[in-house]
Amino acid sequence: MNNFLKKIFIIIQARMTSSRLPGKVMLPVGPKPALQFVVERLAPLSSIARVIIATTDDGSEAPITALCEKLGVGYFRGDTEDVLGRYYGAATDAGAKRGDVIVRLTSDCPLIDPDILKKTVDRFVSGGFDYVSNVEKRTYPRGLDVEVFSFESLELANSKAAEKFEREHVTAYIESTHRSEFRLGSVEDAEDNSKFRITLDEPDDYSAICEIYKLLGYRTDFSYGELIRLLKANPYIFEMNHHVEQKKV
């Protein structure tokens, strides 16, 4: 990974006010809250990237900021609805500037994979893109989503985005409404594993994620290959939440 020469900021959006599963990021998955698993899964990247939790300033965020302080993770409080502004505030507060790389993750991905993240950043840097994700053409399971973009793209989106959905969904300005203005790239899996759903959005998702971590012995050092083998060997996990409809953007 010789392309990791720029500063990388991994910004994870987290709030307590999810409409479908309130407080989901702090729900216990065995011995730890879900958000702690997200942070611990990123530990192998600590030498090349800085992790920041972008939470809200609506008064509900105390459990999140308390966990950040316990884990020694930086955090930023910002507007609950203007998530794009919150991301930009988190990036600039952490010292990000032009030339730096921003990685967007969400806190409902407690199985996030550090190697997939590195692969996406490497594609972004080596290809000279403005934005690269593994969701443009979905082949990875939902719940391993990674978006990588330049600080310049974030800065431009924050200054120009005017529609509510562009402010609420951080990258909508870049990868949707104004995509022709940006150089976009994609990262895809060697096989299509997109049928698996391992994101935390509804109670059945929570049950599935708890079951996965139980089978893993609550380890955080597992590989993507190990995770896929586990899912294929235990098809009942797929049945637990495959019916859940993803919230529309």
The residue extents of the domains of the chain are 8-194
CATH topology for 8-194 is Spore Coat Polysaccharide Biosynthesis Protein SpsA; Chain A (3.90.550)
Look up the pTM and report it.
0.95
HSE-up of 40 (CA within 13 Å, CB side)? 16
Packed helices 203-215 and 224-233: angle between N→C axes, nearest 10 degrees = 110
Tokens 């190697």 belong to 115
* CA–CA distance, 105 with 53 (Å, rounded to integer): 10
In this structure, the number of other CB atoms found within 10 A of the CB of residue 136 comes to: 16
* CA–CA distance, 207 with 245 (Å, rounded to integer): 16
pLDDT in 10s for each residue of the chain, 249 residues: 344 446 999 999 999 999 889 999 999 999 999 999 999 999 999 999 999 999 999 999 999 999 999 999 999 999 999 999 999 999 999 999 999 999 999 999 999 999 999 999 999 999 999 999 999 999 999 999 999 999 999 999 999 999 999 999 999 999 999 999 999 999 999 999 999 999 999 999 999 999 999 999 999 999 999 999 999 999 999 999 999 987 665
The residue among 198, 199, 207 whose CA lies nearest residue 28 is: 207
